[in-house]
Structures are given as C-alpha cells and as structure tokens.
Amino acid sequence: MAQGCRTGLGVLLACLTWFTHAGELSVASESDSVSMPILLVGPDNNYTSEFQAELTSRMLPSLTLTADADVAGLAVALGEDAFVQAQSLGIPVIGVHVSRSALQSARDAGCLCSAVYREATTAAQILVLREMLPAARRVGVLLGPGFAGDEQQLEIPGILFERRSVSNVQQLPAVLAELLPRVDVLLALPDPALYNADTARLILLSSYRQGKPVIGPDEQFVRAGSLAAAYPSVEGMIEATLKLLQHDGLPATMPEAAYARAAVAWNVHVARSYGVIAPDIPAIERRLEAQQ
C-alpha cells in the first residue's frame, strides 16, 4: 500500500475515534454476478475512498461493493457514527474502528453484527509499558464502567497493579490524587467513559504534576501527552476487515469480533521530559505482532 494511503487512512482512523460525521459512500458495483453485495458506510471524504480502494483490490471475487442498500447483504461501517447508522438498514453489519462497548450495545439491541475493534488489547498496552519503562514495578490502573478488557491479564510476576474502581468521572480528581503517588506509571486501558476528549486534560496534567507517565490508551492520548500507546495499525485494520469478510457462512453467521495488528505511537517530547531513551519502535511492533 502506498505511503500516501497509509497517511490518509491514519488520519481517518484518528478522526473516527473522537469525532466523525457518517454518511453512505456511493460505490458503483463492479460485477453483475454478485454473491454478496456489500454496502460501505462511512464519512464522505477521501480517506473513506482510500479504504474502499484497498478493500476492493483485496476482497474475494465473490464480494462486491454496492451503493444500493436495498440489494446489499452486509454493511461495512467505518467508525462508530457510521456503525450506528448502518444498524438501521436491517442487514448484518461489520463495524471497523468500533469500541467493544459500542459493539456490545449494538448486540444488546438485536444487531447481527461484528467488528474490528478500535482498541488494542490489554496485553499489547502492557508490552508497550514494559518496553518503554522496564524499571516500572507499581502500575496504576483505573477501572471504570466502560472497561471491557480482561482483568486476568493484570497478573504479571514482578509487577504490582494498583487498581482503582471509578464509577463516574466526578471521582477522577480524588482517585488520581490518591493513586498517582503510589505508582510508577498509569496504565490507561481503553474505556470511553474515563478516557475521552473531556477527561484528557485532567488525567494528563495530574500525572505530569506527579511525575508519573501515562501509557495508553490510544494515539489521540499520545498526541495529547501520554508517553506511548499501542493502537490498531492501518494495515492491521484492513487485514482484520478482510479476514472477517472471509468468514464461512457470512452474513447469516457473523464472525467473532477481532483486534487489528497493533502499531506503537510515542510522544518524543514527553519521553524527553521523563528521561526515556528513544525506543526501537519497529522492534516493539514486531513483538506485538508475535504476541497475537
């Protein structure tokens, strides 16, 4: 895939996380003999077009994109707004760059759907933490109402995970004030109820004042001031989407949701402020790939 496409899709995935305006993408059918027409739903911009081009060039011959929702057997929705929109079409939906909580809400509402998650796994974030801060032994973790990860992964010899339950964001100032002095680093695991555009300033400033770096939860937080995070790579998103589209029995039987292959984002300015030596990002990403 060309570098330009990687860059454009990277911007798309960033935009899909905190803000997006969904709309159907008009795509002409490529074949009159279609086993399963697929409707692509997403923001009406060049980045969605680039995702469409990658998908089209690598899909099985039995799959064809269509602009006609009435004939589509399946929708692929880019981002959570598009995912919600596509659920009203009355056909199965595969969401791309969709949170675990959004998928669970859709299923609870009766949607026949699956997804490529927008989060990286808990194990991936822990690997990044250990690579970036190998001396860290006490790790703070906030567990809020939107956490959908596996707490069993927070059991690692040599690391003490200081967990704190947070039932609402109003508790964050007090919990951070109590927790941060006790730990070496805050591991921010994906939870839209705790980690979002409204809470980023509070969390990152609190950690910086205490001299405790933040790892996670995604590339947006890294740009805002986290030290580093694992996040779904552009290529990984495409690969995972294609794999879901190859599921036997689709669309009557939907595949299990999938995590995309992870990449690593890091903030060089934050690293410098904490005295962190520049990491070997390609090596960390190879370890993440081997971990899956």
Residues of the chain falling short of pLDDT 50? 1-7, 18-34
Long-range Cβ contacts of 246-254 (<8 Å, 24+ apart): 246/60, 250/36, 250/74, 250/92, 251/36, 251/73, 251/74, 251/91, 251/92, 251/112, 254/92, 254/94, 254/112, 254/113, 254/114
- pLDDT at position 291: 87
CB of 203 closer than 8 Å to CB of 195: yes
- pLDDT at position 34: 41
- pLDDT at position 25: 42
Strands 262-266 and 93-98: unpaired
Q: How far apart are CA 241 and CA 244, in angstroms?
A: 5
- pLDDT at position 96: 97
Per-domain boundaries in the chain:
3-118, 122-231+263-291
pTM of the model: 0.85
- CATH among 3.30.70.100, 3.40.50.2300, 3.30.930.10, 1.10.510.10 for 122-231+263-291: 3.40.50.2300
Lookup result for tokens 């294609």? 242
